[in-house]
């Protein structure tokens, strides 16, 4: 690290502390040449994530929009906010790990539905109805049938209608 006073490139770290809720590190340094002290901050450089809307407008990714949508879909459901926040964190991680600088709003919506389907089926159908712009009850029923089919196919059926070792009962 270059000294802030004399420009010498060798310094000694005297103290390191996390700041900004652990998002950066404050380092107190001492120059090896002029012996003056200065402070530096180390931060993770995040590449801005751009969302491409359906009308091709572009805007910065905003995780709070996803959280608000999840909260609306989960209204009057027993899903803790911490679970919804984890979904948002997982989605943002997935998007950033893809290393794409631009992501379509459609991709984000599909990820939300993918995660929400695993957490709560009613909230999933609520979210899907808004996201996919359901027009009538038949569209709702079609989505529910798809969900039921996925659930049915994911279970292991044995002889005599056994479901996961239970006879005659839905698991």
Write out pLDDT tens, residues 45-75.
778 899 999 999 999 999 999 999 999 999 9
Q: How do strand 24-31 and strand 58-60 relate by DSSP bridges?
A: unpaired
> Would you kindly state where each structural domain of the chain is located, as residue ranges?
11-43, 50-133
- Checking if the pLDDT of 171 tops 90, the result is no
- Residue among 89, 91, 87, 119 at smallest CA distance from 103: 91
Q: In this structure, how many other beta carbons lie within 10 angstroms of the beta carbon of residue 33?
A: 13
Q: What pLDDT score was predicted for residue 150?
A: 79
Token pair 């929400």 is found at 116
Q: Residue 158's pLDDT is what?
A: 44
Q: Which residues pair with 106 in a beta bridge?
A: none
Q: What local confidence, expressed as pLDDT, does residue 58 receive?
A: 96
Q: What is the pLDDT of residue 72?
A: 93
pLDDT, tens only, 87-101? 999 999 899 888 889
Q: How many residues does the structure list for the chain?
A: 171
Q: What is the pLDDT of residues 128-151, one digit of tens each?
A: 888 777 777 887 788 888 888 877
Residue 74: Cβ-neighbour burial (10 angstroms; 0-12, 13-18, 19+):
buried
* pTM score of the predicted model: 0.61
């Amino acid at each position: 690290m270059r000294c802030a006073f004399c420009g010498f490139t060798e310094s000694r770290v005297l103290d390191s502390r996390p700041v900004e809720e652990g998002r950066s590190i404050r380092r107190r340094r001492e120059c090896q040449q002029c012996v003056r002290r200065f402070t530096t901050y180390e931060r993770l450089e995040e590449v801005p994530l751009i969302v491409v809307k359906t009308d091709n407008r572009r805007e910065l990714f905003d995780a709070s929009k996803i959280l608000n949508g999840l909260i609306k879909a989960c209204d009057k459901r027993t899903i803790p906010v911490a679970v919804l926040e984890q979904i948002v964190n997982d989605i943002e991680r997935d998007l950033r790990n893809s290393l794409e600088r631009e992501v379509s709003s459609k991709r984000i919506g599909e990820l939300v539905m993918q995660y929400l389907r695993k957490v709560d089926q009613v909230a999933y159908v609520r979210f899907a109805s808004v996201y996919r712009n359901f027009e009538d009850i038949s569209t709702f029923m079609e989505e529910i049938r798809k969900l039921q089919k996925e659930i049915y196919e994911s279970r292991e059926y044995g002889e005599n209608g056994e479901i996961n070792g239970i006879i005659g009962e839905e698991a």
